[in-house]
């Protein structure tokens, strides 16, 4: 295959959870730009529909749907709806996540801990399983999970000052996502399904505290923080034919943060 053919996603059906904002939106846009039929879904159905309409106005094939990815019935229904529409699902990006942390060790809330695990680890497991169920008969599929540099690293709380931070619950959840990815890769490889993790570094949304973003910039080898478009290349690599021989891998996209 030529290089353009390797990365072209024409004929591919992809689902990006949490696809209405930030990194999910960038990934969904990348797939649309590479000619895939893209579905985005989150609890904010109205937002997903709005973003999908924007993408269609730009000439991309995108549909917005609603789904709480911590609810097994809703996840299974979402995947079934896409398969009814398109006949298959080729790519599942388990992007939806977040942190419920508002309190910290030694006075941390176990409820916040469990909620953070549900938002990241349970949701990834449910989405991966639902996708695998429809990919196995086709002996083909791409499952991409979203980890973090905190899948493998702790965080320097001194950088945050009095600001809130995700803390150990998020690090535990994202560490679980990374090793879940490896486990799924070994389980599903025989069915022609690759499973890989993308671990972004500091890619703050515009609303983030400016002083904190500046500290992150100064502590990164490239001396800048990331932007959502920085995730697009990695996402297309792992979803396209270019990623045929990659599975069980953690692709760190952090501007060198983890090299210090």
| Active site members | 170
The whole-angstrom separation of Cα 68 and Cα 246 is: 29
Both tokens of residue 87?
């006949």
Q: What is the DSSP string of 2-58?
A: -HHHHH--TT-EEEEETTTSHHHHHHHHHHHHTT-EEEEEES-HHHHHHHHHHHHHT
Give which of 100, 99, 75, 79 is closest to 90, Cα–Cα.
79
204 Cβ neighbours under 8 A, 6+ residues apart: 212, 213, 216, 225
Q: Closest Cα to residue 139, out of 63, 83, 190? A: 190
DSSP annotation of 248 reads S
């Amino acid at each position: 295959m030529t290089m353009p053919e390797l990365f072209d996603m024409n004929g591919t059906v992809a689902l990006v959870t949490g696809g209405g904002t930030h990194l999910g939106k960038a990934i969904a846009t990348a797939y649309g730009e590479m000619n895939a039929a893209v579905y985005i879904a989150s609890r904010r159905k109205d937002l997903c529909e709005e973003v999908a309409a924007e993408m269609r106005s730009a000439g991309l094939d995108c549909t917005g749907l609603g789904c709480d990815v911590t609810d097994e019935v809703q996840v299974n229904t979402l995947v079934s709806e896409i398969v009814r529409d398109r006949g298959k699902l080729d790519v599942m990006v388990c992007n939806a996540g977040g942190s419920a942390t508002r309190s910290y060790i030694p006075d941390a809330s176990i409820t916040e801990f469990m909620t953070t695990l549900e938002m990241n680890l349970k949701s990834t497991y449910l989405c991966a399983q639902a996708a695998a169920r429809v990919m196995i008969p086709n002996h083909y599929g791409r499952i991409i999970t979203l980890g973090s540099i905190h899948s493998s690293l702790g965080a320097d709380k001194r950088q945050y000052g009095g600001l809130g931070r995700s803390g150990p619950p998020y690090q535990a959840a994202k560490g679980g996502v990374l090793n879940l990815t490896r486990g799924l890769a070994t389980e599903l490889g025989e069915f022609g399904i690759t499973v890989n993790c993308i671990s972004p570094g500091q890619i703050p949304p515009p609303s983030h505290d400016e002083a904190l973003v500046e500290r992150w910039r100064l502590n990164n080898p490239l001396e800048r923080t990331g932007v959502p478009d920085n995730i697009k290349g990695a996402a297309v690599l792992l979803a396209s034919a270019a990623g045929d021989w990659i599975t069980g891998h953690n692709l760190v996209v952090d501007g060198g943060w983890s090299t210090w």
